[in-house]
């Protein structure tokens, strides 16, 4: 039997259950596993599982499942939500995006390390396999749940409302990696009109976050139906960060890290700019030797991800950190500039225009050179800098 496994998020990896479940599935057939989610990829690297779970693709869970439906006999979705109920709702949203959920057996394994964890069959063809996994893991076998649709479209598509499930009072709400509000209830609805967020019901809106999301004067619309939305901590503290003196590296074996962060080319270096796009960090940083990160939250998240890829950063921050829970790691050789309050985005646009000519990447002679050029360009805005 050919089995496809879609792993979602970091917690199922950090708990050790992704490794265990994939091992059990190998007893049933040939297994191919993929990670869906940026922070989940860092968990795979921390667990040294990049040879077991593919982190090269950048697909949403539903897209991974659709691909597996073409080539596999059965598909498993591994997840560990904040609660089992949250995880079930997540699975329902994923399944609602499939063209035909009945095409192949589709089983969600939800929060298997917790009491109350469930094995969820999403169609009748899944019952036999779901029953086997329930016996192997000792988790409850659920009935086929009803599909939850979080999207409401009104006024011929001009007004779209997306309900956000599993939000707890006080949690920060992120859209595409940018914090846009703080929950003041557990009933959260994001409303857009013609692609622009006009209100977040049940939350205290962060207007500056909306400005960032819509790219200031560019007035860039979004499709809220497809946005990556997250609330609360982006990862629990139940993990050990990957160290670069691992046995994998010492043996000289090739790894995903080597493919993403290649050796410095003889002719110079490739630099990338990550301007409030932390969720696209893996893709943007491909082949780079240094990254410029714009924004406090982006610098924290992207810097932490790029640490695993052995890529130093040049961070641009202004102290507007939203205070979400996250353990930060910055790769040696990095520098973070603190600029005048409210000017990180201004400085970011200057760097993008002057040094990158409006593109996402550019070539330089060395990291030392680009650090010098950045410092010279933004010197009048710098309050202080921190070297790592």
**Tens-digit pLDDT profile for residues 72-90:** 999 999 999 989 998 999 9
Instruction: Look at residue 195 and give its three-state secondary structure.
Output: coil
pLDDT at site 323: 52
Q: What percent of the chain has pLDDT over 90?
A: 67
Average pLDDT over every residue of 153-168:
86
Residue 103: pLDDT over 60: yes
pLDDT at site 133: 97
Give residue for tokens 């692609």: 195
| The CATH number of the domain covering residues in 268-387 | 3.40.50
Q: For the segment 172-221, what is each residue's pLDDT rounded down to a tens digit?
A: 999 987 889 999 999 999 999 999 999 999 999 999 889 888 987 789 99
Domains 2-141 and 268-387 share a fold: yes
Q: For the segment 327-354, what is each residue's pLDDT rounded down to a tens digit?
A: 578 999 999 999 999 899 899 999 999 9
Dihedral sign, Cα of residue 382, residue 334, residue 11, residue 257: positive
Q: What is the pTM of this model?
A: 0.84
- CA distances, 350 to each of 210, 303, 347, 353, 363 (Å): 20, 21, 5, 5, 17
Decide yes or no: CATH 3.40.50.11220 for domain 2-141: yes
Cross-strand pairs, 316: 294, 337
The residues, ordered by sequence, that sit 6+ positions from 90 with a Cβ below 8 Å of its Cβ are: 8, 79, 81, 165, 166
pLDDT at site 327: 58
Strand order in the sheet with 2-8: 53-54, 30-36, 2-8, 74-79, 106-110, 118-121, 140-141
Give the pLDDT band of residue 250 (cuts 50, 70, 90): very low
Two structure tokens written together for 368: 């030392």
pLDDT at site 237: 60
pLDDT at site 154: 79
pLDDT at site 241: 63
> What are the domain boundaries of the chain?
2-141, 151-231, 268-387
Give the pLDDT band of residue 279 (cuts 50, 70, 90): confident
């Amino acid at each position: 039997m050919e089995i496809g496994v879609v792993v979602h998020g970091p917690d199922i990896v950090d708990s050790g259950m992704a490794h265990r479940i994939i091992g059990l599935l190998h007893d049933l057939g040939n297994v191919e596993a993929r990670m869906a989610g940026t922070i989940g990829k860092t968990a795979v690297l921390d667990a040294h599982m990049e040879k077991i779970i593919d982190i090269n693709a950048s697909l949403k869970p539903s897209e991974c499942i659709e691909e597996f439906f073409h080539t596999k006999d059965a598909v498993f979705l591994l997840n560990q939500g904040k609660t089992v109920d949250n995880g079930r709702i997540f699975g329902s949203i994923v399944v609602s995006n499939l063209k035909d959920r009945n095409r192949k057996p589709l089983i969600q394994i939800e929060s298997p390390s917790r009491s109350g964890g469930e094995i969820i069959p999403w169609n009748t063809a899944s019952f036999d396999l779901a029953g086997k996994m329930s016996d192997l893991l000792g988790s409850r076998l659920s009935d086929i749940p009803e599909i939850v649709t979080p999207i409401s479209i009104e006024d011929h598509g001009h007004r779209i409302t997306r309900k956000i499930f599993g939000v707890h009072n006080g949690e920060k709400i992120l859209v595409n990696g940018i914090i846009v509000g703080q929950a003041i209830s557990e009933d959260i609805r994001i409303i857009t009109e013609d692609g622009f967020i006009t209100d977040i019901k049940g939350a205290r809106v962060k207007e500056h976050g909306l400005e960032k999301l819509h790219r200031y004067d560019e007035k860039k619309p979004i499709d809220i139906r497809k946005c990556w939305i997250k609330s609360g901590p982006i990862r629990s503290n139940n993990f050990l960060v990957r160290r670069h003196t691992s046995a994998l590296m010492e043996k000289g074996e090739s790894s995903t890290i080597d493919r993403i962060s290649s050796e410095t080319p003889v002719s110079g270096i490739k630099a990338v700019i990550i301007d409030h796009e932390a969720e696209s960090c893996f893709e943007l940083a491909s082949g780079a030797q240094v990254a410029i990160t714009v924004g406090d939250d982006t610098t924290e998240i992207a810097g932490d991800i790029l640490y695993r890829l052995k890529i130093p950063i040049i961070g641009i921050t202004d102290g507007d950190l939203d205070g979400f829970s996250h353990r930060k790691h910055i790769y040696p050789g990095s520098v973070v500039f603190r600029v005048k309050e409210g000017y990180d985005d201004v400085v970011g646009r200057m760097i993008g225009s002057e040094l990158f000519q409006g593109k996402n990447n550019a070539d330089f002679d060395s990291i030392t050179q680009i650090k010098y050029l950045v410092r010279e360009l933004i010197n009048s805005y710098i309050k202080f800098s921190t070297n790592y």
